Amino acid sequence: MVISAANCIENEKEEINGLNIFPVPDGDTGTNMSLTMQAGKKEMMTFNGTLGECSAKVASALLRGGRGNSGVILSLFFRGFSKELAGKTEADICDLSAAFAGGVAAAYKAVRNPTEGTILTVMRMMSEKAAELAADATTETVEFFRAMETAGEEALELTPELLPVLKQANVVDAGGKGFLTIFKGMLSVVEGNGIIPAENNGAEETKTKASADFDSFETGDIKFGYCTECIVEKAEDCTQNKVEILSSFINGIGDSVVFVEDDEIVKFHVHTNDPGKVLSACLKCGSLQMVKVENMRNQHSEMAIKDAVKKEEKAAPEKTYGFVSVVAGNGLCDVFKDLGADSIVNGGQTMNPSTEDIVRAVNATPSEIVYVLPNNKNIYMAAKQAEELVDDKKVVVLKTVSAPQGISAMIAFDPDAEEADNTAAMKEAMKNVVTAKMTFAARDSVFDGKEIREGQILGLVENDVRYVADTREDCMKELSQSFSGAEVITLFYGEDAAEEEAQEMAEIIRQTVGSDKEIMVLRGGQPVYFYLISAE
């Protein structure tokens, strides 16, 4: 059931990504839920044990593999689910109903202010149907699961009525859709139809002009830790020059490269230490149809992994304080390193790191107290999960929802102050930052009464779409209105913006806020967003 569920969500992740309520090209709910389920699937490929052991192993894998808010909520559901099946070798519908209820309770408990019209609503209404069915001893197992699926579909259709922003965008909740997709994968097995195959392993692959036998690769000395495979469906504007640039990039970021293409797709395999950069580069050619990232060091024996963790990842405390920062973009990474970050976890809106990625970075930080800066609201829950999994260091997760907030927090840090004083000072500094972003609309949309056309330029303030313009210059003129009270403004230009244009944008800001304000231009290198602006 777990393997089938993982395949099902993988097959439909792009459709789920497309339910993103904002037209900003950063929808990643489907990707996060799929990658989270892949962690469970990997454990199940060689599993042999009881029902209770199975559920515990899946829950543990998902807990560490959880990505983004949707992935973490999913992992917590399975954690609560598994606790109800502990010690069992079989389960009837009463047991499954209790497990479902345990999963829902764990998911709701993890969200400080639960919002109806989300994945939580779909989980809850399915659980309520399960309890109703379990009260009737004559209910058959297949009937039980089918009725729960129907309840889930009804709940999903209800989400726009419960959450106005969904209704305005004319979509259902992406997380709820993902959860129901996972359940449908499980239902296929319950009904006797077997495991839903992963589409990338089936007939679709035969469309490529050439194919690579990825199973034949040898990991060798493991100079590069991540085996990364990807299929990219070419966008309409994907030129041969873009494909050649991607090929050159892939060949320069690792080894064991296989790169093939035809008229519709690009497919490649590479061993690299930075899969996040690989995926960001792919998006310039089109949409991700299949992604597979494996830590090759984890393919060795369990004992070897434990030894590696002890030798390579567990850093003995050498100081009182340390920092782990999650950030995307070489320039932003350099800023955080210059401010004293010990470990950088590569990730952001379009590529959320897993809980295990953050745990690994915390373990590698040589301090007694480790501050974690998620710098994104969709990474905060994974960071909090990491906090619970580390037992030999004190982990403090600050709720930084943008890189500018993280930078301000680090500037406010005093290595000689007490922990409580530092935490208070950094939280106060975070409040004084206004974060703005500039990107493009990935699709036509209507948002907050604004008609938005694909390709238009969007100005966001604190993650809210505030301005829509036809040019970057016009958008920056609008965004500048948000900085009128700021004394210091920092403009980080992204990987799709040039320094020359960034200087022109800074002049636009200066004309609005006044020449007496300090305006700095720095290379951020961030994907998706042309400009990231910090105003204090």
Average pLDDT over residues 440-445: 84
* 32: pLDDT strictly greater than 80: yes
Which of the given ranges, 25-34, 90-99, 102-111, has the highest pLDDT on average?
A: 90-99
Do β-strands 343-346 and 319-327 pair in parallel, antiparallel, or remain unpaired?
A: parallel
Rg (the chain; Cα; Å): 24
What's the rounded Cα separation, in Å, for the pair 103 and 382?
A: 17
Per-residue confidence at 233, pLDDT binned at 50, 70, 90?
A: confident
- Calculate helix-pair angle for 93-110, 119-134, nearest 10 degrees: 150
Give me the pLDDT at residue 404, please: 95
23 close to 458: Cβ distance less than 8 angstroms:
yes
Helix, strand, or coil here: 215?
A: helix
What's the rounded Cα separation, in Å, for the pair 155 and 168?
A: 18
Amino acid at 282: C
The region of weakest confidence among 117-126, 290-299, 386-395 is 290-299
* 342: pLDDT strictly greater than 80: yes
Is domain 302-431 in CATH 3.40.50.510, yes or no?
Answer: yes
What's the rounded Cα separation, in Å, for the pair 364 and 397?
A: 16
What's the rounded Cα separation, in Å, for the pair 100 and 129?
A: 10
Average pLDDT over residues 136-164: 93
Is the overall model pTM greater than 0.75, yes or no?
A: no
Kindly report, as residue ranges, where domains of CATH 1.25.40.340 are found in the chain: 2-197
Q: Which of residues 164 and 384 earns the better pLDDT score?
A: 384
What's the rounded Cα separation, in Å, for the pair 350 and 329?
A: 12
Sign of the four-CA dihedral 129, 131, 135, 138: positive
Q: Which residues contact 163 (CB under 8 A, 6 or more apart)?
A: 115, 116, 117, 118, 173
Percentage of the chain with pLDDT > 70?
A: 89
Domain 201-299 classification at class level:
alpha beta
* 290: pLDDT strictly greater than 90: no
| Fold (CATH) for 2-197 | 1.25.40
Kindly report, as residue ranges, where domains of CATH 3.30.1180 are found in the chain: 434-535
Amino acid at 445: S
Q: Which of 241, 231, 236 is nearest to 261 (CA)?
A: 231
**Tokens at residue 14, please?**
């792009």
Neighbours of 168 (CB within 10 A): 15
Q: Where are the alpha helices (DSSP H) in 66-173?
A: 68-84, 93-110, 119-134, 141-162, 164-169
What's the rounded Cα separation, in Å, for the pair 369 and 84?
A: 35
Helix, strand, or coil here: 226?
A: strand
Q: Which of residues 168 and 500 earns the better pLDDT score?
A: 500
Average pLDDT over residues 59-70: 89
What's the rounded Cα separation, in Å, for the pair 100 and 138?
A: 19
* 221: pLDDT strictly greater than 70: no
* 307: pLDDT strictly greater than 50: no
Kindly report, as residue ranges, where domains of CATH 3.40.50.510 are found in the chain: 302-431
Q: Which of residues 301 and 290 earns the better pLDDT score?
A: 290
What's the rounded Cα separation, in Å, for the pair 26 and 515?
A: 34
Average pLDDT over residues 249-267: 78
Per-residue confidence at 508, pLDDT binned at 50, 70, 90?
A: very high
The region of weakest confidence among 237-251, 268-282, 460-474 is 268-282
Choose which CATH entry (1.10.3470, 3.30.1180, 1.10.4160, 3.60.21) describes domain 434-535: 3.30.1180
Q: Which residues contact 244 (CB under 8 A, 6 or more apart)?
A: none
* 309: pLDDT strictly greater than 50: no
Kindly report, as residue ranges, where domains of CATH 3.30.70.1150 are found in the chain: 201-299
532 close to 439: Cβ distance less than 8 angstroms:
no
Q: Which helix (H) or strand (E) covers residue 14, if one does?
A: helix 2-17
* 269: pLDDT strictly greater than 90: no
